[in-house]
Amino acid sequence: KGKRAFIAGVADDNGYGWAIAKSLAAAGAEILVGTWVPALNIFESSLRRGKFDGSRILPDGSMMEIAKVYPLDAVFDNPDEVPEDIKTNKRYAGSSKWTVQEVAESVKEDFGSIDILVHSLANGPEVTKPLLETSRNGYLAAISASSYSYVSLLKHFLPILNPGGSSISLTYIASERIIPGYGGGMSSAKAALESDTRVLAFEAGRKRKIRVNTISAGPLRSRAAKAIGFIDMMIDYSSANAPLQKELSAEEVGNAAAFLASPLASAITGTVLYVDNGLNAMGVGV
């Protein structure tokens, strides 16, 4: 029987979430996505108008189908937590049931269960500021959107994740090495995400035989990465210094995610898997 995947953090065809969806679809999975509420309209209309058709083509020539797009804002766990200004914001008022708990309930109602949960989202409002200039609110917002959002997603989806299932998030080496420019508490948020990967692997493994891993991905020119401002430099740095001197494609990360989600990885949990052309292993630039 085919597997079903829910991928949180897909709003265009440039990011890792889209590439992971494609690799999972190519392996036969049914694809559900969670799209950030403010980006929902443009994503859905672009899908409808065929703007992504070229990038929907799978290796066998067929098109990736997205069974359903769910509006999601992963910084809110349930309706009680949504402040009035968000509730009445016109970008949010047009959608409903987009808190983490409600999305998990809707997926359960629509499909019953899933096998694969992917978290491919991050947000740090002060990412361009050095840590020393980051405000408390900016730091906490980065942690809320980029780290706790994963704890919350896994917590709410765990009851409908089939035993033997797999959960994957995306991290970045700025969690463990100094990457000047990755600011606003985003480096801290990725460190939390990696630590949580281990603890959640234990808890979800014991509770429901679910595996939990994170992929430490190399630089990709996604929408989120362009907002940080140094992505071209990071791509050039990697091409110059990594053991494999090629530009990383989103598909390579998608394929690693498909491996982690598959029975081929049945004994792998609690790990950080580097998919970065080997850059993490270098001690100095050469």
| Catalytic residue selected from 16, 139, 148, 172 | 172
Total residues belonging to the chain = 286
Cβ(7)–Cβ(29) under 8 Å?
A: no
Q: In what order do the strands lie in the sheet with 114-119?
A: 66-72, 30-36, 4-8, 114-119, 161-171, 211-217, 272-275
Select 6 or 36, whichever has its Cβ closest to ligand NAD. 36
Contact 207, 157 (CB under 8 A): no
| Residue 75 CB neighbours (<10 A) | 20
The two three-digit tokens of residue 42, written as one number? 């443009």
Q: How far is the CB of 163 from ligand NAD (least distance, A)?
A: 26
Catalytic residue among 92, 182, 237, 274: 182
Residue 64 — φ and ψ, nearest 5°? -65, 130
**139 belongs to the catalytic site:** no
* Cβ closest to ligand NAD, residue 97 vs residue 208: 97
173 near 179, Cβ under 8 Å? yes
Q: Which is nearer to ligand NAD, 191 or 263 (by Cβ)?
A: 191
| Residue with nearest beta carbon to ligand NAD | 15
Q: Which is nearer to ligand NAD, 14 or 41 (CB)?
A: 14
Q: Which residues does residue 214 pair with via DSSP β-bridges, in sequence order?
A: 169, 272
- Residue among 196, 186, 207 at smallest CA distance from 151: 196
Q: What's the one-letter identity of residue 38?
A: P
Burial of 267 (0-12, 13-18, 19+ CB in 10 A): exposed
> For helices 149-157 and 186-208, what crossing angle results, to 10°?
20
CB of 274 to ligand NAD, least distance (A): 10
**Residues in the site for ligand NAD, rule: CB under 6 A?**
9-11, 14-17, 36, 39, 72-75, 120-123, 145, 170-172, 217, 219-220, 222-225
Cβ closest to ligand NAD, residue 62 vs residue 249: 249
The reply to whether 148 belongs to the active site is no
- In the bound state with ligand NAD, the residue whose beta carbon lies nearer, of 36 and 92, is 36
Tell me the closest approach of the beta carbon of residue 225 to ligand NAD, in angstroms: 4
* Closest distance of CB 219 from ligand NAD, Å: 4
Closest alpha carbon to 150 in 174, 119, 105: 119
User: Mind telling me the catalytic residues?
Assistant: 172, 182
